[in-house]
Amino acid sequence: MNRKEFFSKVGFGAAAVFIPACIAGVVTSCSSDGSSDSGGSTPVVTPPTGVDFNLDVSTGALATNGGYLVTKGIVVAKTLTGEFLAVSASCPHEGTNVKYSSSGNNFICPNHNSQFSDKGLVTQGPANSNLKVYSTSLSGTTLRVFS
């Protein structure tokens, strides 16, 4: 067996082993839309509970109006008017982390484009349940995020 034949057989053997696993992963991710038979969505990830932490907003993403960050399963955003918002990070449709859009003052899931108001309310599906909203309190440059 020459070198070309060897690599040809090894490559085919590896493909035979890995292709079924890859196909199974694609089929599972495509068929798992989080919906039930009644057409509703089920949260993939439960929103954090017992939340109580502090963030320094003097530097980083929250030092600038329109910035946001994801920490401890929560998206914390600073609106263009300087107000702080905190909502659960996981989209209730499939669990993808939502992003804050300062131009729309809303949260958008990059996976299937579900959209939520600044109050966490669904404004566009496929998600059909709201994001959990957390309280915020600013003292100097320390932002407290809590349940």
Find the domain containing 24 and state its range: 1-32
Q: Which is more confident, 112 or 38? A: 112
Q: State mean pLDDT over 119-127.
A: 93
SS3 142: strand
- Phi, psi values for residue 76, rounded to 5°: -110, 125
Same-domain status, 125 and 70: yes
For position 110, what pLDDT does the model report?
A: 93
Q: What is the pairing mode between strands 84-88 and 115-116?
A: unpaired
For position 88, what pLDDT does the model report?
A: 96
* 71 domain residue, yes or no: yes
Q: Is the model's pLDDT at 3 over the cut of 70?
A: no
* 134 domain residue, yes or no: yes
Q: Which is more confident, 29 or 7? A: 7
Predicted TM-score of the model (pTM): 0.70
Tens digits of residue pLDDT in 44-85: 568 999 999 999 999 999 999 999 999 999 999 999 999 999
- Can you read off the two tokens belonging to residue 133? 């909203």
* 94 domain residue, yes or no: yes
Determine the straight-line distance between the first and last CA of the chain, rounded to whole angstroms.
68
Same-domain status, 24 and 62: no
For position 39, what pLDDT does the model report?
A: 45
* 84 domain residue, yes or no: yes
User: Strands across the sheet with 122-124, in order?
Assistant: 99-101, 106-108, 115-116, 122-124
